[in-house]
A = this chain, B = another copy of it.
Amino acid sequence: MTRQPAATTFRPIGTIRTPWTEVGSCPRNGRQPDPAPVCTVHVLPEYHAGLASLDGFSHLILVYWLHQAPPPKLSFTPPFDTETRGVFATRAPFRPNPIGLSVVAFDGFPEPGVLAVRYLDCLDGTPLLDIKPYLRTTDHQADATLGWLDPHATRNRNTQG
């Protein structure tokens, strides 16, 4: 456990288009805007073959590079809180590895290689790293407790599917 693991390089497979062109305009989370705007995910042509069989999944997990995140901060006081929290107990962007993920509703392909999705909260132009099917068999945990965020849960207002 003492050896420092090697670094690794990832290359974006596409670009995410959202209505939010500045960090300050991004919603607090993807379920907050009601109704949630339809965003698009533009996959680079060389990866289109990987999208086969995506039809039929109602929800996906998008993994992306938070490319405009500030430098990492390991602890901070969230704006709606009075205590210092560790960054791994939050979804803040300024993480040691600025990787973001969202569970999104998948509304199909408006054109080949372009996905229509809802419930994103990231900046327009965010580089896409991966697309995974959301599997309720392993990804769904209805009874999960929210830790320090529990008193703040009602701020997530959009409860549509």
CA distance A140 to B89 in the complex (A): 17
Query: Which residue of A9, A57, A83 has the most chain B CB atoms within 10 A of its CB atom?
Result: A57
Partner of A51, one of B65, B86, B138, B148: B86
Looking at chain A, what size class is its interface with the partner chain?
A: 35 or more
Find out whether the CB atom of A130 lies under 8 angstroms from the CB atom of B4.
Answer: no
A82 part of interface (Cβ distance < 8 Å): no
Copies in the complex: 2
Partner of A53, one of B4, B31, B50, B83: B83
Find out whether the CB atom of A61 lies under 8 angstroms from the CB atom of B10.
Answer: no
CA distance A53 to B67 in the complex (A): 26
Find out whether the CB atom of B99 lies under 8 angstroms from the CB atom of A130.
Answer: yes
Chain B residue with the shortest CB-CB distance to A89: B53
Partner of A133, one of B15, B51, B56, B91: B91
Find out whether the CB atom of B138 lies under 8 angstroms from the CB atom of A30.
Answer: yes
Find out whether the CB atom of A47 lies under 8 angstroms from the CB atom of B96.
Answer: yes
Find out whether the CB atom of A97 lies under 8 angstroms from the CB atom of B47.
Answer: no
Chain B residue with the shortest CB-CB distance to A11: B7
Question: Would you list the 5 A-B pairs with minimal beta carbon distance, nearest first?
Answer: A56-B147, A52-B86, A5-B12, A57-B147, A53-B89
CB pairs A–B below 8 angstroms (27 shown) = A4-B44, A5-B15, A9-B9, A29-B138, A47-B96, A49-B74, A49-B86, A50-B86, A50-B96, A51-B89, A52-B84, A53-B148, A54-B88, A55-B147, A57-B89, A57-B147, A58-B143, A59-B144, A88-B130, A90-B133, A96-B130, A99-B99, A119-B138, A135-B144, A136-B143, A140-B140, A140-B141
